[in-house]
Structure 1
Amino acid sequence: MDFSKKINATRRYNNNSNANVSDQFESDRGRIIQSAAIRRLQQKTQVFPLERNSAVRSRLTHSLEVQQTGRHIVRTIFKKLGDDAKKYGLSELEREIESLVEMSCLMHDIGNPPFGHFGEAAINHWFTKHLDKHVLFSQADNKMLSLQIKQELKSFEGNAQAFRIIFSLLKLNLTYSQAASILKYTRCGLDMRPDKEKPLSYLKKKVGFYYSELEDITLLSEHLEIKPGHRFPLAYLMEAADDISYCLADIEDGVEKGLLNCKQLAEHLITTFTRVSDNQADTAFLRGKSFQQAVDYALSRADKEPINKTHEFFVWLRVQLIHALVEHAASSFIDNIQQVYDGELNRALLEDGSLFHHMISTFKEVAITHIFSTNEVETKELQGYRIITGLLDAYEPLLLMQTEAFTKMVSGEDKGGLIEARLYKRLPKKHLKAYQQALLPLHNKPDFKVHEFYYRSRLIQDNISGMTDQFALEEFQNLYIS
């Protein structure tokens, strides 16, 4: 086991593998922070779509919090390892790994569409309903590939879209080590989800990358010695940082919006944890405190605060819980370091059946029951679903065009139909260039029409998923008389 073999400066383009690793990761950092994908996160939903209260989290503010937690986990790991870091080839890599994990945390949501997971569902429902109109799938010579492509287009996934942004749309040309750090799921969109009892089933429970980026992922895996279906080790840290950050953040936003108060939240947390942990709420696993004692202490501090009780409550809840979760995530990484290094640990670091795991489950359950299921959130989700569906309906004429007609319009040989030409002009030029570049090597290959339609569908999904919440709403209003 030698982590230095996986932490290197190899890139696909303009590669200089002999360059200083630290300098190359600093270059990655600049490319990521200055990318349009990061800027768009400031107007994308975390929980509350189209939220005007700036104190409530966006995808960007959430990602910044995940970034800080990721950094905290890395520092804790190195503190715990001490001199043992040498055994794993880690002794000279603390700053480099810290940078990789920070940037993977910042990037982890860049593929999410407007309106979050409800936006994902809207895209998938629409393509599931409408793809059967296209007979070219049944006419293809390679029936298996055409069926796989059809299935993938019904499986839009923000994690996979992130790799499409990195490799195909923005062409950030990140080091393979940096890109692999967000490879949370390892299944290609062409493959079916495996049964739970199968090896690596957790790592393959969602689509991790699309057929369109298969070559990039294959090269990345070869250079970093990642076996098929396995993870890059630092992805476990990005995932843990996300799990720790959002479990409290979503609930805090709910309290900020007045969906429940601190006292009500404290009661829900203690009741739920007692049930989830099988009545172990009095176990002192949080630096000498039980879960109930920690929640009660935060509530007592809030009661004494004369001005901002909510802020005080969550400050002390975080101090007691987040630090403990970070310590546990770091210990879990070290205790399972061989499986993590090999990328075969078939679970998240915090999904270990411990009281810390039960604590994460408690926050998730309380958020689902008392925040996500409220009338305000569900109404906004329904509005988001209607907006995404309406936009896809509006752009459907481009998908209904014959292959020859659409490619002629793209090449400028033909202006296109009355509606189609106007819709075509609304597509981002960088997405159109990605579409054209993907088709260049395919023109004389079998089943070109299937591949062309695949990349045309990706073009439409790229367009819709890249919108911010506000832009999606404005585009919907522009295309439909309101």
Structure 2
Amino acid sequence: MDFSKKINATRRYNNNPNANISDQFESDRGRIIQSAAIRRLQQKTQVFPLERNSAVRSRLTHSLEVQQTGRHIVRTIFKKLGADAKQYGLDSLEREIESLVEMSCLMHDIGNPPFGHFGEAAINHWFNNHLDKHVLFSQADNKMLSLQIKQELKSFEGNAQAFRIIFNLLKLNLTYSQAASILKYTRCGLDMRPEKDKPLSYLKKKVGFYYSELDDITLLCDHLEVKPGHRFPLAYLMEAADDISYCLADIEDGVEKGILNCKHLAELLKSTFTRLSNEESDPAFLKGKSFHQAVDYALARAEKEPINKTHEFFVWLRVQLIHPLVEHAASSFIDNIQHVYDGDLNRALLEDDSLFHQMISTFKEVAIKYIFSTNEVETKELQGYRIITGLLDTYEPLLLMRTEQFQNMVSGEKGGGLIEARLFKRLPKKHLKAYQQALLPLVDKPDFKLHEFYYRCRLIQDNISGMTDQYALEEYQNLYVG
């Protein structure tokens, strides 16, 4: 086991073998932070679509919090390892790994469409209802590939879309170590989801990358010595940071919006934890306090605060709960370091039989039952569904065109009618260039029409998923007057 073999500065393009590795990761930071994908996160939903209250989290503020948690986990790991870091090839890599994990945390949501996970569901629902009408799939010579491509197009996934953005839409040309750090799921969109009892089933439970990025992911895994279907080690840390950050943050946003108050929330947290943990005594696993004592202490501090009781409650809840979760994630990484290094640990770092896992489950259950399921949130989600469905309906004429017609339009010739021509002009130029580049090596290949239609669908999904919540709403209003 030698982590230094996986932490290197290799890129797809413009490699400099003599470059300082720290400088290369610093370059990655600049490319990521200054990218349009990060800027768009400020107007994408975390929980509450089209939210006007700036105190409620966007995808950007959530990602910044995940970034800080990831940094904390890395520092805790190195503190726990001490001199033992050398035996794993980790000595002198603390700063580099800290940077990689921070930036993977900042990037982890860049592929999410407008309106969050409900936006993903809306895209998939539309393609499930519309793709079967296209005879192209049944006419393709390669029937297996045809079925696989159709299935993938019905499985839009924000994690996979992130790699399209990195490799083919923005062409950030990140180091492979940086890109691999967000490879949360390892299944290609062409492959079926494995049964739960199969090897690596957790790592493959969702689509991790698309057919369109298969070559990029293959090169990445080859250079970093990551076996097919396995994870890059640092992705476990990004996932843990996300798990720790969002569970409590979503609840805080619900209180900020008045859906719950602190006293009611405290009772829900305690009763849910008691039921999930099955621990009558609720042992003092939080640095000398039980879960109940930690929640009660935060509530007592809030009641004494004369100005901002909600802020005080969550400050003390976070201090008492988040730090032990970070410690546990770091310990889990070290305790399972061989499986983490090999990328075959078939679970998240925090998904174990510990009380820390029950604590995470408590936050998730309370959020789902008492915040995500409220009328306000569900109404906004349905509005988001209507917006995305309406936009896809609008752009469907471009998908109904014959291959030759659409290709002619891309080439600047007359290819479609008035509606198609106007819709075509609304497509982002960078997405059109990505479509053209992907097809260049395929022009003389068998099943060109199948591949052309695949990348045309990707073009439409790139367009819709890249919109911010507000832009999607405005575009919908512009196209559906009155």
Instruction: Please indicate the TM-score interval, normalised by the length of the shorter structure.
Output: over 0.9
Aligned to 2:384: 384
Aligned to 1:403: 403
Aligned to 1:333: 333
Could you give the per-residue CA deviations for residues 342-386 of structure 1, whole angstroms, max 9, x where no partner exists? 000000000011000000000000000000000000000000000
Structure 2 stretches lacking a partner, 5+ long:
none
1:280 CA drift (Å): 4.4
Aligned to 2:476: 476
Aligned to 1:84: 84
1:17 CA drift (Å): 2.7
1:416 CA drift (Å): 2.6
Could you give the per-residue CA deviations for residues 234-272 of structure 1, whole angstroms, max 9, x where no partner exists? 000000000000010000000000001000000000000
SS in 1 for 2:251: helix
SS in 1 for 2:307: coil
Correspondence 1:264 to 2:264 = yes
1:292-311 to structure 2, matched below 5 A, reads 292-311=292-311
Could you give the per-residue CA deviations for residues 149-196 of structure 1, whole angstroms, max 9, x where no partner exists? 000000000000000000000000000000000000000000000000
Aligned to 1:212: 212
CA distance, structure 1, for counterparts of residue 281 and residue 224 of structure 2 = 43
Closer, same or farther in 2 for the Cα pair 1:466/1:280, shift >3 Å?
Answer: farther
CA distance, structure 2, for counterparts of residue 399 and residue 303 of structure 1 = 59
Aligned to 2:322: 322
Aligned to 1:251: 251
CA distance, structure 2, for counterparts of residue 145 and residue 260 of structure 1 = 50
CA distance, structure 2, for counterparts of residue 44 and residue 415 of structure 1 = 35
1:415 CA drift (Å): 5.2
CA contact (8 A) 2:184 2:208 kept: yes
Could you give the per-residue CA deviations for residues 89-147 of structure 1, whole angstroms, max 9, x where no partner exists? 00110000000000000000000000000000000000000001100100100000010
Aligned to 1:128: 128
Could you give the per-residue CA deviations for residues 45-102 of structure 1, whole angstroms, max 9, x where no partner exists? 0000000000000000000000000000000000000000000000110000000000
CA distance, structure 1, for counterparts of residue 91 and residue 281 of structure 2 = 39
SS in 2 for 1:396: helix
CA distance, structure 2, for counterparts of residue 386 and residue 139 of structure 1 = 32
SS in 2 for 1:208: strand
1:281 CA drift (Å): 5.9
CA contact (8 A) 1:350 1:356 kept: yes
Q: CA RMSD in A?
A: 0.6
1:414 CA drift (Å): 1.5
CA distance, structure 1, for counterparts of residue 88 and residue 55 of structure 2 = 42
What number of residue pairs does the alignment pair up?
A: 482
CA distance, structure 1, for counterparts of residue 280 and residue 116 of structure 2 = 34
Closer, same or farther in 2 for the Cα pair 1:320/1:166, shift >3 Å?
Answer: same
CA distance, structure 1, for counterparts of residue 396 and residue 450 of structure 2 = 17
SS in 1 for 2:208: strand
CA distance, structure 1, for counterparts of residue 260 and residue 320 of structure 2 = 21
CA contact (8 A) 1:12 1:173 kept: yes
CA contact (8 A) 2:401 2:416 kept: no
Code of the aligned partner of 1:309: K
Closer, same or farther in 2 for the Cα pair 1:58/1:199, shift >3 Å?
Answer: same
CA distance, structure 1, for counterparts of residue 353 and residue 176 of structure 2 = 33
SS in 1 for 2:272: helix
Code of the aligned partner of 1:436: Q
1:6-405 to structure 2, matched below 5 A, reads 6-280=6-280, 282-405=282-405
CA distance, structure 1, for counterparts of residue 412 and residue 9 of structure 2 = 40
Closer, same or farther in 2 for the Cα pair 1:208/1:261, shift >3 Å?
Answer: same
Compute the TM-score of the two structures, normalised by the length of structure 1. Answer: 1.00
Closer, same or farther in 2 for the Cα pair 1:281/1:427, shift >3 Å?
Answer: farther
CA contact (8 A) 1:295 1:317 kept: yes
Could you give the per-residue CA deviations for residues 262-291 of structure 1, whole angstroms, max 9, x where no partner exists? 000000000000000013462110000000
SS in 1 for 2:273: helix
CA distance, structure 2, for counterparts of residue 254 and residue 413 of structure 1 = 52
CA contact (8 A) 2:42 2:61 kept: yes
Aligned to 2:452: 452
Code of the aligned partner of 1:443: V
Of the structure 1 ranges 169-178 and 273-282, higher mean CA displacement relative to structure 2 is found in 273-282
CA distance, structure 1, for counterparts of residue 16 and residue 362 of structure 2 = 47
Could you give the per-residue CA deviations for residues 428-468 of structure 1, whole angstroms, max 9, x where no partner exists? 00000000000000010000000000000000000000000
CA contact (8 A) 2:406 2:415 kept: no
1:411 CA drift (Å): 0.6
SS in 2 for 1:184: coil
CA contact (8 A) 1:44 1:114 kept: yes
Percent of counterpart pairs with the same letter? 89
Code of the aligned partner of 1:390: G
Code of the aligned partner of 1:179: A
